[in-house]
């Protein structure tokens, strides 16, 4: 077993265990903490694949931004000591059936297909190349999605402010 | 093959993560935990994009850019969703989906 395989198995074990705990934990703050562990190990997978910039984005935006936002909203809307009620069996079994059947189907299809693997081990992607691609509109340029994302972020910013504003009744 | 890690391992991992997220979305009744399940689903899709990009087409960067855009969309979605959740909490002092029946016909 190579070191890459070992690190991959370690990260994937952490991801699987903590994502199951995220959706089954009865304390909501603990669920958010487990989600943080899942996101950090995903950043570890990106580091393993040598996408350092992407891993940094994952750590700052997901682990630093979204999880903190979720924890703040948990603290605003519920008590820490409060336990979530467990779902009824009538709701739990169909959901588990859907998840298990879907996962089994996808895994069978994936394992049957023979994916070609190239052994090309490219170097770390340069941040300068990423920036040049984001603002160029020629081949391998991503100027249009970049502009669309910036409009989307502006709309989300304004929408969040308007929605969370106190109403004058 | 990425130095001994085949592509199918990544795909199996992201499949498991995706369906754990689907299970959480179906079972949970609290709005914030449903949002966390959606984050799990988006994250599994990101892993798929990155693995396909690195292992099958290592000279291109499409998967990485799509992952960056997915992360941006997830951030926007989380901020707006949490604004809506806080607004609902102000109105009916609960974020349980079963208690949101004001607009029910």
Considering the entire predicted model, what is its pTM? 0.90
**Contact by Cβ (8 Å): A8, A48:** yes
The CATH number for A31's domain is 1.20.120.1200
Instruction: Kindly state whether residue B33 falls inside one of the protein's structural domains.
Output: yes
Using the CB atoms, write b or e for A73-98: b if 16+ within 10 Å: bbeebbeeeeebeeeeeeeeeebeee
Same domain, A3 and A81: yes
Instruction: Kindly state whether residue A93 falls inside one of the protein's structural domains.
Output: no
Tokens of B100: 């949101």
From chain A, the residues in CB contact with B7 under 8 A are: 115, 117
**Boundary (domain end) residue, out of A85, A115, A143:** A85
Mean pLDDT by 10 residues, chain A (169 residues): 86 94 90 94 91 92 90 86 77 91 94 74 79 86 91 93 77
Query: Which single residue is written with the structure tokens 């989600």?
Result: A35
pLDDT digits (tens, 9 = 90+) for A80-108: 777 877 777 778 899 999 999 999 999 99
The CATH number for B81's domain is 1.10.287.3510
Interface test with A, best of B6, B7, B32, B87 (most A CBs within 10 A): B32
Kindly give, in sequence order, each residue whose CB lies less than 8 Å from that of residue A51, ignoring residues fewer than 6 positions away. Answer: A125, B50, B54, B64
Same domain, A80 and A136: no
How is residue A166 annotated by DSSP?
P
d(CA B27, CA A88): 9
Spacing of C-alpha A155 from chain mean position: 22
Interface test with B, best of A11, A14, A66, A98 (most B CBs within 10 A): A66
Residue A133 has its nearest CB partner, among B61, B77, B86, at B61
Q: Inter-chain contact A125–B84, Cβ cutoff 8 Å?
A: no
Same domain, A7 and A60: yes
The whole domain housing B63 covers 7-99
User: Is the ipTM beyond the 0.85 threshold?
Assistant: yes
């Amino acid at each position: 077993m190579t070191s890459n395989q070992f690190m991959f198995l370690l990260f994937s074990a952490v991801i699987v265990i903590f994502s199951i705990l995220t959706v089954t934990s009865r304390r909501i703050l603990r669920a958010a903490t487990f989600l943080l562990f899942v996101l950090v190990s995903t950043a570890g997978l990106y580091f393993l694949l040598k996408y350092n910039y992407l891993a940094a984005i994952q750590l700052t935006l997901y682990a630093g931004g979204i999880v903190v936002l979720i924890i703040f909203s948990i603290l605003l809307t519920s008590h820490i000591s409060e336990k979530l009620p467990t779902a009824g069996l009538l709701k739990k079994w169909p959901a588990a059936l859907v998840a298990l059947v879907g996962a089994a189907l996808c895994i069978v299809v994936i394992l049957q297909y023979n994916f070609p693997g190239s052994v090309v081990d490219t170097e770390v992607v340069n941040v300068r190349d990423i920036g040049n691609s984001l603002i160029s509109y020629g081949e391998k340029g991503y100027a249009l999605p970049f502009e669309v994302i910036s409009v989307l972020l502006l709309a989300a910013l304004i929408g969040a402010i308007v929605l969370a504003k106190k109403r004058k009744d | 093959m990425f130095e001994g890690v085949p592509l199918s391992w990544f795909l199996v991992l992201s499949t498991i993560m995706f369906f754990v997220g689907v299970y959480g979305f179906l079972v949970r009744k609290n709005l914030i935990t449903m949002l966390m399940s959606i984050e799990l689903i988006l994250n599994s899709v990101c892993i798929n994009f990155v693995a396909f990009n690195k292992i099958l087409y290592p000279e291109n960067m499409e998967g990485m850019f799509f992952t960056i855009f997915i992360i941006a969309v997830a951030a926007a979605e989380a901020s707006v969703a949490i604004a809506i959740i806080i607004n609902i909490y102000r109105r009916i002092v609960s974020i349980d989906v079963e208690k949101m029946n004001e607009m029910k016909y």
